[in-house]
């Protein structure tokens, strides 16, 4: 009997040893699979980075500091073929069952990106590469001004090379515009005038003409070179070389683009919606899915917008009672739109005051961040006015991310071209959205993340990014901000604006609303200036689906937060929830939902 017991114990010990060995082998195997996968992801990221000089500059890398990113039709095909090869590798060479945690999330994200790259190819011409929002005619000079730093003579020479490179770059741009027309895709008629104005503005001043003032790019280059610690004669030679490139290369590049645009302008129509494109309805539904990262249809988004507009109107009526305003909601809108107490004067002093106050709002929020967040961005943020050469056509406000190496802070751009479009009562919400805790926190934190593949630090999903921005307008209220009822009205006005976007974007592109009908919806249902409404409708037209992301994304984040609160009760921690949202980088809302579900399961 004793022998049997001893034998059994020996067998058990051997079995335990084998199990431990197998477990150790499995763990080592998983570690090796993880390493191979992440090494491959890093290699692919470096491949992408080597093909994108502008992204390199954005990251503070100067390897191809003298080049522009290829925009040719051949490059589009190369991108598709590269995505196809990567999908084959993911399917055949990666043991998905061995991936866990962040590795598994990386796999899902990278696979989704490649699938979208391939699907996007069918709609590669369904864009407007020149437009009043983010067209190349303005973005290229803005890139040189804001992104291309000149810290050495070689940096200055690279700037000059990029000036010369605008000519072949715009030659490809012209080809793209002509190819789009052949395929039935042209800018709406109203866009041409705005884009042509941007182009002509770039050619004003010296060295393009005899003038007492320098052109935009000449002034930028001269200012940057003047700060270099090199001999004065070298500075002069560099400025002369830049001016020569402006005259010999930049001017003919813009003149060629102007000629193409003026030619197409003669054949442009007033049809604004994506429905006018070949397979326009299919394209718009696809665009909505890409933008919102959901399966919501145009009809569902339109109806959701109508419900949200009605809800916010009711909340605004509550604020009317607080401030003892007599009249209808439309009367209150008119009062907020026209009363001088809600606007800084349209002067240099008024604009400077706006920038100071917006900066102060962000600084005040910084102090309160520990109440909401565990993770803080290292990068700083500054507030700037949109440059004069593009302020007439640019959007109301936008954010530019910091350099990944910390050499350039994040920037909140406020468009002060029309001070009536920048009411004081919306200043708080706008600063929180574009700055802190909005885009700056989300994007800077993503760039600074450790322990995840580099590609994930640079992803941009509009519903996630803009959903976070809009959510960030709300959360300051939950820690005591917006004490002034007019400021709280401004918060609601901003949310109402995004709710109206759901209605108007789908109205234009799916229901064939006219430009005038869309503008009327905004002016009737919001307190914003008519110029705001005009710019927003023009934005909808050239960026189908983009503006639907904000409210859809915010709604999803709030729904996930409510779900977490209900599941965890007293164990719910807002700081932990925000870590779940922010510390894995941008992702589709469907994957974000999976991440929150995993967080809840782990905490329960």
Rounded to two decimals, the pTM is: 0.88
If you average pLDDT over residues 347-374, what whole number do you get?
A: 96
Closest CA to 419 of 393, 396, 387, 389: 396
Residue 466: per-residue pLDDT:
95
Closest CA to 30 of 95, 92, 87, 108: 95
The size of the chain, in residues, is 604
Residue 326: per-residue pLDDT:
95
CA distance 467 to 387: 27
Residue-wise pLDDT for 242-284, tens only, equals: 999 999 999 999 999 999 999 999 999 999 999 999 999 999 9
CA distance 519 to 537: 6
Residue 288: per-residue pLDDT:
98
What are the backbone dihedrals phi and psi of residue 393, each rounded to the nearest 5 degrees, phi first?
A: -110, -15
Residue 523: per-residue pLDDT:
94
**DSSP run (H or E) holding 506:** helix 485-509
CA distance 450 to 334: 50
Instruction: Work out the percent of the chain whose per-residue pLDDT is above 70.
Output: 96
* Residue 247 DSSP symbol: I
* Residue pair 164/249 in contact by the 8 Å Cβ criterion: yes
**Angle of CA points 34, 38, 40, to nearest 5°:** 120
* Residue pair 178/170 in contact by the 8 Å Cβ criterion: no
Residue-wise pLDDT for 112-121, tens only, equals: 999 999 999 9
Strand order in the sheet with 381-385: 381-385, 410-414, 397-400
Residue 25: per-residue pLDDT:
45
CA distance 78 to 373: 42
Is the model's pLDDT at 110 over the cut of 80?
yes
437 cis-preceded (ω within 30 degrees of 0): yes
Q: How many other β-carbons are positioned within 10 Å of the β-carbon of residue 584?
A: 20
Distance of CA 68 to the CA centre of its chain: 20
Q: How many other β-carbons are positioned within 10 Å of the β-carbon of residue 492?
A: 24
- In this prediction, residue 389 has a pLDDT band, given cuts at 50, 70 and 90, of confident
Residue 47: per-residue pLDDT:
98
CA distance 602 to 360: 39
**Tokens standing for residue 142:** 């803005």
* Residue pair 198/393 in contact by the 8 Å Cβ criterion: yes
CA distance 114 to 174: 28
Higher pLDDT, 131 or 393: 131
Is the model's pLDDT at 3 over the cut of 70?
no
Closest CA to 174 of 250, 255, 76, 257: 257
Residue 312: per-residue pLDDT:
98
CA distance 374 to 390: 38
Alpha helix (H) residue ranges in 266-368 = 280-292, 298-322, 329-338, 348-368
CA distance 597 to 574: 15
Residues forming a β-bridge with 385: 414
Is the model's pLDDT at 180 over the cut of 70?
yes
Residue-wise pLDDT for 37-80, tens only, equals: 999 999 999 999 999 999 999 888 999 999 999 999 999 999 99
Helix (H, G, I), strand (E, B) or coil at 17: helix
Q: How, if at all, do strands 410-414 and 381-385 pair? A: parallel
Residues forming a β-bridge with 410: 381
Residue 405: per-residue pLDDT:
79
Closest CA to 531 of 339, 345, 392, 362: 392
- CA atoms within 13 A of residue 428's CA, in its CB half-sphere: 24
* Residue pair 201/218 in contact by the 8 Å Cβ criterion: no
**Hey, where are the domains in the chain?**
2-50+72-121, 136-270, 282-557
CA distance 598 to 514: 45
Is the model's pLDDT at 231 over the cut of 60?
yes
């Amino acid at each position: 009997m004793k022998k049997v017991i001893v034998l059994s114990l020996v067998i058990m010990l051997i079995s335990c040893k084998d199990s431990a060995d197998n477990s150790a082998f499995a763990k080592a195997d998983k570690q090796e699979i993880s390493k191979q996968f992440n090494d491959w992801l890093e290699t692919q990221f470096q491949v992408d980075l080597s093909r994108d000089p502008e992204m390199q500059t954005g990251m503070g890398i100067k390897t191809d500091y003298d080049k522009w990113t290829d925009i040719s039709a051949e490059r589009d095909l190369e991108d598709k073929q590269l995505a196809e090869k990567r999908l084959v590798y993911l399917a055949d060479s990666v043991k998905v069952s061995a991936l866990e945690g962040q590795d598994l999330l990386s796999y899902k994200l990278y696979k989704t990106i490649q699938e979208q790259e391939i699907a996007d190819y069918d709609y590669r011409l369904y864009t407007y590469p020149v437009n009043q929002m983010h067209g190349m005619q303005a973005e290229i000079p803005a890139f040189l001004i804001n992104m291309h730093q000149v810290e050495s003579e070689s940096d200055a020479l690279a700037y000059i090379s990029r000036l010369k490179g605008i000519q072949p770059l715009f030659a490809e741009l012209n080809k793209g515009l002509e190819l789009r027309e052949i395929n039935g895709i042209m800018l709406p008629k109203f866009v041409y005038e705005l884009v042509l104005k941007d182009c002509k503005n770039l050619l004003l001043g010296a060295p393009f003409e005899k003038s007492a003032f320098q052109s935009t790019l000449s002034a930028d280059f001269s200012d940057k070179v003047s700060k270099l610690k090199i001999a004065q004669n070298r500075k002069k030679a560099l400025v002369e070389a830049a001016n020569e490139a402006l005259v010999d290369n930049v001017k003919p590049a813009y003149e060629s683009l102007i000629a193409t645009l003026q030619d197409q302008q003669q054949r442009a129509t007033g049809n604004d919606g994506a429905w006018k494109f070949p397979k326009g309805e299919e394209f718009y539904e696809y665009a909505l899915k890409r933008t919102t990262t959901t399966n919501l249809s145009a009809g569902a988004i339109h109806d959701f917008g109508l419900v949200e507009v009605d809800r916010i109107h009711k909340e605004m009526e509550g604020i009317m009672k607080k401030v003892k305003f007599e009249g209808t909601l439309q009367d209150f809108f008119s009062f907020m739109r026209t009363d001088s107490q809600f606007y800084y004067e349209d002067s240099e002093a008024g604009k400077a005051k706006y920038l100071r106050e917006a900066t102060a709002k962000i600084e005040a929020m910084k102090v309160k961040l520990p109440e909401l967040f565990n993770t803080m961005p290292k990068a700083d943020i500054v507030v700037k006015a949109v440059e004069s050469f593009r302020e007439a056509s640019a959007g109301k406000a936008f954010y530019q991310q910091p350099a990944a190496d910390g050499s350039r802070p994040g920037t909140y751009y406020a468009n002060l071209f029309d001070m009536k479009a920048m009411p004081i009562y919306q200043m708080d919400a706008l600063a929180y959205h574009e700055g802190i805790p909005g885009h700056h926190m989300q994007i800077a934190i993503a760039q600074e993340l450790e322990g995840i593949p580099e590609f994930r630090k640079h992803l941009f999903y509009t519903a996630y990014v803009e959903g976070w921005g809009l959510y960030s307008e709300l959360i300051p209220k939950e820690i005591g901000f917006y004490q002034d009822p007019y400021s709280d009205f401004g918060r609601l006005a901003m949310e109402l604006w995004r709710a109206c976007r759901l209605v108007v974007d789908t109205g234009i592109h799916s229901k064939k609303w006219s430009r005038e009908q869309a503008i009327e919806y905004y002016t009737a249902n919001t307190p914003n200036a008519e110029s705001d409404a005009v710019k927003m409708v023009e934005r909808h037209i050239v960026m189908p689906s983009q503006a639907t992301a904000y409210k859809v994304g915010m709604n999803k984040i709030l729904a996930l937060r409510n779900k977490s609160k209900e599941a965890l009760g007293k164990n719910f921690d807002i700081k932990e929830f925000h870590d779940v949202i922010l510390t894995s980088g941008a992702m589709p809302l469907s994957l974000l939902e999976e991440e929150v579900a995993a967080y809840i399961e782990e905490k329960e």
